[in-house]
Amino acid sequence: MSVKARRQKPTAAVSDDNDSSSSITGNGAIRGPASKQTLHPPIAKEQEENVFLFYPNLIGYVRIILAVSSLYYMPLHPRTCSFLYSVSCLLDALDGLAARHFEQSTTFGAVLDMVTDRCTTACLLVFLSSAWPRWAILFQSLISLDMASHYMHMYATLTMGGSGQSHKKVDSKRSWILYQYYHSRTVLFICCALNELFFIGLYLLSFSSPMLSPSLLQPLPDLQLSSAQPGSPAHPIPSTLFASPWSAGALELARANKLDSFWPWVITGISAPVMALKQFINVVQLVKASRWLAEGDIATRKAARLRKGKNA
């Protein structure tokens, strides 16, 4: 055997022994076992969810658009306004169904839903205050009660119940009425829907009932001569009465006798008891939330005195 053959034999032996676990590179270097060369697959980065584009929140944005559109038509177009406002309110139930179906219940969505409800109702009551100035203080009180009770209830829930606690999860021991109100989706929907329906009925009556809104002037009977009386068909051009078509007098003239008052009276009469119940629940909610916050203040002050006594 030649010297060259003897020198190549160990190399060949090494190659045979490591054939299954190693290999020789092009420059003669021997790679390690294949098991050590296994490459770990890259870890896929988890895609971050966009809460703002969740289906319930998209429905909430549609509600806001419809509500703003109803405000645009509110002064002079009661049918269009009532339709847009009603659809916006009905979608309030749909976003809850979507949140449960797609498992997309979020704190942002709950707050968006509540803020939209409070703002739309407040805007409608502001219009009623301007349509019926004599009852303005009543409508202003309803706005204040609605916002105060819901704000204090949610704040008390987040403060005392924890950041993950829903404002709709009420213990029956704390308030039986609030438990029944929030626990049953049917009760909650009926109360909220008929409460809004009552205010829609009042809104329609502001276009149809001179008995409730004396500013809606009726045409004078058997009037043959031209008159400056607003609402009188004898006057040739209404614009000659008011310099601005957007003045209060011009708006009243445009609103006068636009609707028949039968169905608005029916809507208002049927929904009135539920509206009264809803306001009572708002009062209970305000009182219970206030007491809950006071209990937390007492507990905090007691804990602070105990710490002060230990450090003394």
Task: Please identify every residue annotated as catalytic.
Answer: 117
- Two tokens, residue 19: 């054939």
Report d(CA 162, CA 156) in Å as an integer.
9
Judge whether 255 and 206 are in contact, CB under 8 Å: yes
Report d(CA 88, CA 72) in Å as an integer.
14
Report d(CA 188, CA 20) in Å as an integer.
72
Report d(CA 214, CA 131) in Å as an integer.
10
Radius of gyration of the chain (CA): 36
> Mapped to the 3 state alphabet, what secondary structure does 24-59 carry?
ECCCCCECCCHHHHCCCCCCCCCCCCCHHHCHHHHH
- Two tokens, residue 182: 């929030």
Q: How far are the Cα atoms of 219, 221, 258 from residue 236, in angstroms, in the given order?
A: 13, 17, 19
Name the phi and psi angles at 24, rounded to 5: -100, 130
Judge whether 76 and 251 are in contact, CB under 8 Å: yes
Report d(CA 2, CA 25) in Å as an integer.
26
Strand-pairing partners, residue 28, are none
